[in-house]
Chains A and B, each alone.
Chain A
């Protein structure tokens, strides 16, 4: 908080007057401009919600919420219309779950390695490498999934479809390892050394200290990193569009083709469906669902972080 400003230098008689009363016009204008820029961020959120809501409400005027949530088929573009979000949502979660299976253990163990085992120099090499992994565009991961992972999978499991969920899961998992690892590592390093030293003093091994003292102490941050990683996996678009398929399919078999919510949005927009039709509105209904799911997960991760954080002075 800036202190009460003294007056401008060319007003020597008003040294004791408060900032507010003696703001020049220029200062006021600048303040307003800056506020507007900050408020622009709120405008963006309002925009997203308004845009999605408008068409979604139109969608739900035609399609009941019950059908949307319970119908197991998604066929909005054909003559026989079904509007069940389940195949798309399950597709998204199937990919995200597979990604979590990879990223959660690998990310956490990587974080423990960086925080508890690795020396400064090793960390100085590994952290940038992880940052590079995080910075690779998702379309590259899609390429990798289609041209490397899928053929590999098919040689091991010949019944795998050309477009399948597992390929996408694997690359999305690799993609979010850095997210999980760096957020977990931040949480682990925030645990005070005193806790560790106390445990060592009692004769614990490094393994015991890491798993029974440090991780539990940093649990809120670690779990928050998992939730954020999964949220990113659900929102991922290009890798799944390229590798996972365009077949709304209510299945838990990762070797089959599926369609995720994000891939459907891409497919619907490529076809350039006309305004005002129910097909056009499905794009927004699915977008709204996606937005709400990721929003809930992000808010949840922040809540976990704040609510369960152990306070150390």
Chain B
């Protein structure tokens, strides 16, 4: 039967292509690097990682970079299981996670790549809540909170229901916010829209006049037209996150460093080292383009040196 034969023929071809799979070989092919770089972790850091990956791949098209956003916690799980080369995080690695990595024999270097002014965000139609104190934030978000409406926060605000949006429990931003504002990591009232994907939070808040949420500054910057920043009073008056207030430390307590954790054994692969070097060399340009605050040139130089040392030790 002609059609059966041609079908079997095409199936054979597909099998042949599928079977012709090489392994994850990495080498310097003529004219460029090859291999893979696997990155996962914080959705806050994701915009930076995505920008770096995209620009890096334009220069090195044969390297296969993939970037996930399972959350800082999820990223560390995979990192300490040996599944990823680089883990992005919006909080430092926890002791338990570091122990897991040590138990698995995974050595790593912590690199600070940017500063984030973790932003409290509302809808532009909300003109009354210009500023919130840390105390008020805590009262709104803590477990067992009795705050239902804006009036419960300040008596001269409207008696409209506050609808809350925030990152989910695997997010470093979630960990950082709950630890800093509420005082205990993971302690939060349960009735908020949770998502690991900050874009979903943006969509929710942008569409909801009485919404309130928090996420990394980059997601505000990308959507500044449809969101409004709420200033935070950490005891020094109302401060909005900006390059200056992060630099001089007045945007407290929500200014925080963003990290990239690199596995030493991965640095032995030229494509991974090239990626990390590329990231640090171009961070001064790429980080601000995402809305985050870049470190100083010396700090990036120091990071590059740390990477070189780790790579040398790995070989």
A and B in direct contact, judged by CB atoms within 8 A: yes
A: which residues have CB within 8 A of B?
Answer: 73-75, 77-80, 82, 154, 161-163, 245-249, 257, 267, 270-274, 279
Inter-subunit contact A163/B70 (CB<8 Å): no
State the CA gap A163–B73 with chains docked (Å). Answer: 26
Report the minimum CB–CB distance from B239 to chain A (whole Å): 28
Residues of A with C-beta under 8 A to B184: 79
Q: Are A79 and B70 in contact (CB-based, < 8 A)? A: no
Complexed CA–CA distance, A79 and B207 (Å): 29
Most B Cβ at <10 Å: residue of A245, A248, A272, A279 = A272
| A107 nearest CB across to chain B (Å) | 32
- Return the CB mask of B202-227 against A: 1 if under 8 Å, else 0: 01101110000000000000000000
- A79, B191: Cα distance in complex, Å: 13
What's the Cα separation between A165 and B268 when bound, in Å? 50
Report Cα–Cα, A273/B75, bound state, in Å.
10
Q: Scoring B residues 177 to 207 as 1 if CB is less than 8 Å from chain A, else 0, what string do you get?
A: 0000000111110111111110010011011
- Whether a CB of chain A sits under 8 angstroms from the CB of B231 is no
Of B27-35, B163-171, B273-281, B283-291, the segment with at least 4 beta carbons within 8 Å of chain A is B163-171
**Docked-complex contact A80 and B190, CB < 8 angstroms:** yes
Chain B min CB distance to A234 (Å)? 22
Query: Once the chains are docked, how many angstroms separate the CA of A161 from the CA of B192?
Result: 13
Asked if residues B70 and A267 are in contact (CB atoms below 8 Å), the reply is: no
Give CA–CA (A249, B164) in the complex, Å: 13
CB-nearest residue of chain B to A257: B193
Q: Which 3 residue pairs across A and B have the least CB separation, nearest first?
A: A271-B170, A162-B207, A272-B74
Interface residues contributed by chain B, number (CB under 8 Å): 33
- Is A79 in contact with B71, judged by CB distance below 8 angstroms? no
Rounded to whole Å, the gap between the CB of A220 and the closest CB of chain B is 40
The chain B residues found within 8 Å of chain A, CB to CB, are 40, 70-71, 73-75, 77-78, 143-144, 163, 168-170, 184-188, 190-197, 200, 203-204, 206-208
Residues of chain B lying within 8 A (CB to CB) of residue A162: 203-204, 206-208
- Of B73, B187, B207, the most chain A CB neighbours within 10 A belong to B207
On whether the beta carbons of A273 and B74 are closer than 8 Å, the reply is yes
Closest to B194 in A: A246
CA distance A82 to B191 in the complex (A): 12
Q: Report A-chain residues with C-beta under 8 Å of the C-beta of B207.
A: 154, 162
B191 touches A267 (CB 8 A): no
Among B143, B185, B206, residue most surrounded by chain A Cβ atoms (within 10 Å): B143
Closest beta carbon of chain A to B80's beta carbon, Å: 9
Chain B residues whose CB sits within 8 angstroms of the CB of A257 once the complex forms:
193
Across-interface contacts of B200 in A (CB, < 8 A): 246
Nearest CB to that of B195 among chain A residues? A246
Asked if A272 and B143 make an inter-chain contact with CB atoms under 8 angstroms apart, the answer reads no
Nearest chain A CB to B64 CB, angstrom units: 21
Contact of A247 among B74, B193, B197, B203 (CB under 8 A): B193
Q: Could you tell me if B187 and A80 are in contact, using CB atoms closer than 8 angstroms?
A: yes
Give me 6 other A-B pairs in contact (C-beta within 8 A), A79-B143, A79-B185, A246-B195 excluded.
A163-B204, A245-B193, A267-B168, A272-B75, A273-B170, A274-B77
B74 touches A271 (CB 8 A): yes
Q: CA of A273 to CA of B192 in the docked complex: distance in angstroms?
A: 20
Give, as a whole number of angstroms, the nearest-CB distance from A114 to chain B. 32
